[in-house]
Chains A and B, each alone.
Chain A
Amino acid sequence: EPEVTQTPSHQVTQMGQEVILRCVPISNHLYFYWYRQILGQKVEFLVSFYNNEISEKSEIFDDQFSVERPDGSNFTLKIRSTKLEDSAMYFCASSERNTEAFFGQGTRLTVV
């Protein structure tokens, strides 16, 4: 069964550093998403991406964040100058059309 793959599973970084979270969406999917979930809180939408551009972004997704599809398979989330409050689980998801999204297993980001 095709699945969304995320790497790394856990990333520890020092405050102020930049991190890149990587995702390989399901191959025939056209819509890509990033979400985050702070421990004990709800899943929060960050950004959606279609046709090589951002479709929609939330208030959380400010200039600190950027997304990129550097090649035909990877989809990345870059967080610049990380803060303690960026510590969370980051989920990548993809969907074939504007329908049900399938999630990767997540990257747990810990900022120290």
Chain B
Amino acid sequence: RKEVEQDPGPFNVPEGATVAFNCTYSNSASQSFFWYRQDCRKEPKLLMSVYSSGNEDGRFTAQLNRASQYISLLIRDSKLSDSATYLCVVEIGGFKTIFGAGTRLFVKA
């Protein structure tokens, strides 16, 4: 099993749609979890941290399920500008982070 696994997509959705991404991780000792977005040939940009209690930031909601070792990201009311690759990131301790390969999202008008 890969350390961090994501569905590569692509997800093609119309503007205004709700879309959800999942990510699974293999190391049960993982401590911190994040979602980043990456535009083509750009640096990863932090979208949000993921807390055990779940957290929401505007149209974005992240959830963590430690028992099943997965995290999720929900995007509501998709915008054209949401088109990007979404990266699941897991910190496995010792300041070492593992990136998933990313899920590509295309939002169409």
Contacts and interface: CB of A to CB of B under 8 A. Distances in A.
B90 to A, nearest CB: 11
B35 to A, nearest CB: 10
A25 B25 CA distance: 29
A103 B99 CA distance: 14
B94 A105 contact: no
Contacts of A100: 34, 46, 49
B63 to A, nearest CB: 18
Nearest to B85: A42
Contacts of B43: 91, 103-106
Contacts of A105: 42-43
B37 to A, nearest CB: 11
A44 B96 contact: no
Contact of A48 (B44, B49, B94): B94
A43 B99 contact: yes
Contact of A103 (B41, B44, B49, B94): B44
Contacts of B102: 42
Interface in B34-65: 34, 38, 41-46, 49
Contacts of B45: 103
Nearest to A106: B43
Interface in A17-57: 31, 33, 35, 41-45, 48, 50, 55-56
A111 interface: no
A74 interface: no
A2 B47 CA distance: 17
Contacts of B97: 33, 45, 101
Interface of B: 32, 34, 38, 41-46, 49, 87, 91, 94-102
Interface of A: 31, 33, 35, 41-45, 48, 50, 55-56, 58, 89, 91, 98-106
